[in-house]
Structure 1
Amino acid sequence: MPIEAELKAVVRDPARVRAALRERADEQLNVYRDVYYDTPDRRHSRDGREIRLRVVDGTRSLLTYKDPVVDRDSGSKPEYETAVADPVAMDAVLRKLGLEEVIRYEKRCANYRLERSGLPLLATLVAVPELAGTFLEVEAVVEPAAVPAALRVVRQVLAELGIGGEDLTTELYTEAVRRVRSTTLDDHGRT
């Protein structure tokens, strides 16, 4: 069972962090369009589970299932992901299975593949148009026993980039987007 050992932080100086990442790895720019699904009673969300259909740059699609967190301080979760040939058909399958769309949003990402202490890492600078600020995610996909060691490496990388513990957050983008939308809509769903 692979676990996404990940830390996420608010970035106070995005230009400096981006320059530092570009010194360490090639930059790959991507736009993710994410749709999250749940049962009508929101059972999966209540249990900390996620079902996501992601379209990357309009050309590649991924179906992801995440179990509840295994490390509350980091938000690290077991993750299962597979490529999807037809996202429209997959959306139909999920809906026929009784799931419904609960939220959709866009992430603009700058991805950097790094290696530290023999561990392959993905660092991603993230901007969500609806949210203020820029975020940095650093993750490694590891087996459960390796999560603590992987998180130590992730913390080292964050420290090298000038990201301190006070910048870390476990708030999910889905929660943040939902909060922003709820404050901008009236009782009839209008802005």
Structure 2
Amino acid sequence: MKEHGKMREVEVKLHSPDLALVQRALHDAGAKLVKERVFERNLRYDSADGSLIAGGEVLRLRQDTAVKLTYKSDATLENGIVSRLEAEVTVSDFASMDAILRRLGFHVALVYEKYRETYALLGAEVVLDELPFGNFTEIEGDAPTIERVVAALSLGNCRRIESSYVDLFMDVKARLGMSARDCTFAAFVDVDVGELFLPPSTPSFMRAQSGLAKASPCNSLIRPSKS
């Protein structure tokens, strides 16, 4: 959304393991498919002294059907909704932009991959994200619109995730004792995430078919880290 000539990203991230149910809810609510499921490769950069990531800022180069360079400021949080300034530009060449950033002193701190499908509903953008460690729904718009979309999709019981995907990966990596630097699907091929993020599919399926209880895309929650 635009705010006084600047770009401000306002969004909520919901843990929703069963994306098929979210897709069904989107269809039933009359959502428009804006962009079909596409693979993304993202490079997250940091400054030489590590201050960019430490300060909560994001410098990211993304490639899907286009190449985009994005900057995000540190975020503010309210009711699980994340708000931050965002500036984004489309560039013509992924490798050249990466080389420019490296020449400017930035380095790639992490690579992460995901699949994303994009919808429009009630003036908000709704994206379904599949990451190597779990599935999520992000809703972007102003705060009242976000709440209307959450209600329209029956996602009110989903846990609101205030962490970025990179932070979630670092948490999963620590809990599972993974050595991989990057959050790629290849890195998770032989990793059993188990109940950490992914729900058992059979109970959800049985509830949906039996009619005894409404199936929920949020039937498994991210567990907090043990301190």
Aligned to 1:2: 7
Richer in strand (by share): 1
Q: Which letter does structure 2 place at the counterpart of 1:138?
A: I
Structure 1 residues 166, 21: CA separation in 2 closer, same or farther (over 3 Å shift)? closer
1:1-49, Cα deviation, whole Å (9 max, x unpaired): 2111100101154221111113422262111110000112210111111
1:75-107, Cα deviation, whole Å (9 max, x unpaired): 221100000101101101101111000010111
Q: Secondary structure at the match of 1:184?
A: coil
TM alignment of 1:1-191, pairs within 5 A = 1-23=6-28, 24-26=31-33, 28-57=36-65, 60-72=66-78, 73-114=80-121, 116=122, 120-129=123-132, 131=133, 133-140=134-141, 150-164=142-156, 167-182=159-174, 183-185=177-179
- Whole-Å Cα distance in 2 between the matches of residues 8 and 75 of structure 1? 8
Q: Structure 1 regions of 5+ residues with no counterpart? A: 141-149
- Whole-Å Cα distance in 1 between the matches of residues 20 and 11 of structure 2? 22
Q: Secondary structure at the match of 1:169?
A: coil
**C-alpha RMSD of the superposition:** 2.0
Structure 1 residues 70, 159: CA separation in 2 closer, same or farther (over 3 Å shift)? same
Structure 1 residues 110, 166: CA separation in 2 closer, same or farther (over 3 Å shift)? closer
- Whole-Å Cα distance in 2 between the matches of residues 151 and 10 of structure 1? 18
- Whole-Å Cα distance in 1 between the matches of residues 18 and 60 of structure 2? 30
What's the TM-score once normalised by structure 1's chain length? 0.82
Q: Percent sequence identity over matched residues?
A: 29
- Whole-Å Cα distance in 1 between the matches of residues 160 and 145 of structure 2? 15
What's the TM-score once normalised by structure 2's chain length? 0.69
Q: Which letter does structure 1 place at the counterpart of 2:71?
A: Y
CA contact (8 A) 2:16 2:158 kept: no
Q: Which letter does structure 1 place at the counterpart of 2:99?
A: A
Q: How many residues align?
A: 171
Q: Which letter does structure 1 place at the counterpart of 2:75?
A: V
Structure 1 residues 25, 167: CA separation in 2 closer, same or farther (over 3 Å shift)? same
CA contact (8 A) 1:125 1:137 kept: yes
CA contact (8 A) 1:70 1:78 kept: no
CA contact (8 A) 1:71 1:77 kept: no
Who wins on radius of gyration, i.e. which is larger? Answer: 2
Structure 1 residues 105, 12: CA separation in 2 closer, same or farther (over 3 Å shift)? closer
